[in-house]
Every structure is written in C-alpha cells, then in structure tokens.
Amino acid sequence: MKPIIFAVTAIALYGVSTVVIEQKLAKLNSLTILVGEFAITLAFAILVRQILIIKDPANAINLAFPTEKATWIALLILGVIVFVANFLFCESLILGGNAVVITSLMILMPVVTIAVRTIWIRETPNMYCIAGYVLAALSVLLVAKGSIK
C-alpha cells in the first residue's frame, strides 16, 4: 500500500507545482525555474541526510555511490532525460499552455511507459494494453476538449 500512497502524494504535489508554474512563475525563464528547483532539491536532500545521521548514525541511509562505469553512464543518461523532460514541461507552461490540457497529456505516460517497456524487453502488447492505449487517447481528447474555453 505504501507505494500507492507515495505515488498519489507525488501526483498531487506535481499538480500543485504545475499550477504554481502556470499562475505565478510563467514570467520566469524555464531554465531559471529548473535551476531553482534543483538547488532546493539538493539542499533538502543534504538536510534530510544530515537529520538521518544525527537521529541514528547506525541506521542512516547508506549513500554508497556506484563503482561500475556502466552504472555511471546510465545515471548520466537518466539525468539528461529527466532534465530535458522537466525543461520541456516548464517551457510548455511558460509558453502559454493550459495546465489542465498539459497535465491531461500525462494520462499518456503509462501508455508510453508500456510501449518503451515492450520495446525494451521485446514482447508484444496484449489486448488489455491496446485497449488501454485507446482509452488513454480518448481521455486526453475529452479532457482537452472540456477545458478549452
């Protein structure tokens, strides 16, 4: 149950951040927003790490960094992907995109994830996945149509 609670909380926080960007930060540059977000994220990560060490040094989270070159390359690629995704998301809001329409496109994230996973592990999608693709596309169309003023 914990993963579901974490995911729902993350989605709620992403929704709040999307509205804040659209309503209050749209006058800023996307790169400025990203640098600010990443600086605050780093500060919070260091703060939480220090609190955990002070609270119980024996059970503090082990931050063992990987030693394999392939793992570092994968982390580098992942970092670039996350940065580009966040930049494009912020840019879509700053360029005047409607937060409801843009976030409704996030309904397609499971579809894209399943498609990437299908290609990655070389399996064909089943009928449930294909039906999900169709329903996700229809839901995006309905939300976009309903939110256009």
Q: What is the pLDDT of residues 107-125, one digit of tens each?
A: 778 778 878 888 888 888 8
Cα-Cα-Cα-Cα dihedral sign, residues 58, 60, 61, 62 = negative
Residue 66, classed as helix, strand or coil, is coil
Average pLDDT over residues 59-67: 74
Do residues 104 and 140 lie in contact, with contact meaning Cβ atoms separated by under 8 Å?
yes
Tokens for 53? Answer: 């060490």
Q: What's the pTM value of the predicted model, to 2 decimals?
A: 0.75
Q: Is the pLDDT assigned to residue 77 strictly greater than 90?
A: yes
Q: Are 142 and 99 a contacting pair, CB within 8 Å?
A: no
List the one residue out of 131, 87, 90, 137 whose CA is nearest residue 109. Answer: 137
Mean pLDDT of the region 70-75: 92
- The residue ranking higher by pLDDT, 6 or 64, is 6
**pLDDT value for 59:** 67
